Amino acid sequence: MKRFLFKFSLITMLVITAIFSIDYLGGQFSVNGDDDKAELLKGNSDTGAVLAANKEEKQINNIDLSWLEKGSDGQLNNIEFPLGTDKEQILLSRGEAIDTGYYEGGEYFRYEDVTFFINPETNRLVAIALSTEKYDLDGKKLEETLGSPNVSERNEMEGLWMYEYDLGKYSLMFEAKEEEGEILFVWLREKI
């Protein structure tokens, strides 16, 4: 069971990282020059790739220490469901997802603002992925705001720089194209 969860979490992380990298999406994003809003044009459900497409305008950096505090409780800031939430509760509250599918035995539900990953054995939420395009945030601002991460290194497999904060039984990870570059994505997941 632990080996399956480890593989599921690792694969989920890799999929999220690959999908969230604009370079890997091959032009699946476009930016509307009139209002600088990002839009997801096409999903990549063949590979199980999922993406939460934020369509809100960029805001001033509003990531603060509460992200670490809430993350320690399995809660991603501004997302109503903590890790461990039952799949049915999410579906009843959120309604129909933009995209759903399976990847390596795990189920995902992509909504406009967030993607939820469900463990198929427990039907519970094990990871949350969120685009950070709406935040004015880079690696330097992230470290100034949240402090030094436990891990700050290039993920050679995905070609992204990651900043990972160990939150006990959870992990909060931010991803950028390069060290101190603009933060593209954040995800909160259960550790194995």
> What pLDDT, in 10s, does the model give residues 16-63?
444 444 343 343 333 333 333 333 323 333 333 455 544 444 444 478
- Residue, of 177 and 13, whose pLDDT is higher: 177
Query: 185 vs 2, 3, 13, 36, 88, CA distance in Å?
Result: 26, 26, 11, 17, 26
Q: What is the mean pLDDT of the chain?
A: 76
3-state secondary structure (DSSP) of residue 70: helix
The span from the CA of 138 to the CA of 85, in Å, is 30
Q: Model confidence at 9, in pLDDT bands (50, 70, 90)? A: low
Whether residue 6 has pLDDT greater than 50: no
Q: Residue 160 and residue 10: Cα distance in Å, rounded?
A: 15
- Say how far apart CA 4 and CA 187 lie, in whole Å: 20
**pLDDT, average across residues 83-103:** 93
The alpha helices in 73-191, defined as continuous H runs, are: 87-94, 139-146
Instruction: Summarize the confidence of residues 124-136 as an average pLDDT.
Output: 90
> Is it the case that residue 189 has pLDDT exceeding 70?
yes
Amino acid identity of residue 44, one-letter, is: N
Residue 47 region, left (φ>0) first, then alpha (ψ -120 to 50), else beta? alpha
Q: What is the rounded average pLDDT of the residues 52-79?
A: 75
CB-based contacts of 3-8 (< 8 A; 24+ apart in sequence): 4/105, 4/121, 5/119, 5/126, 5/190, 5/192, 6/192, 7/104, 8/104, 8/105, 8/106, 8/119, 8/126
> What predicted TM-score, i.e. pTM, was given to this entire model?
0.68
Is the per-residue pLDDT at 14 higher than 60?
Answer: no
**How many alpha carbons lie under 13 Å from residue 71 in its C-beta half-sphere?**
26
> Beta strands 37-40 and 183-190: pairing type?
unpaired
Gap between the Cα atoms of 172 and 18, Å rounded? 17
Is residue 83 within 8 A of residue 189, CB to CB? The reply is yes
Assess whether pLDDT exceeds 70 at residue 4.
Answer: no
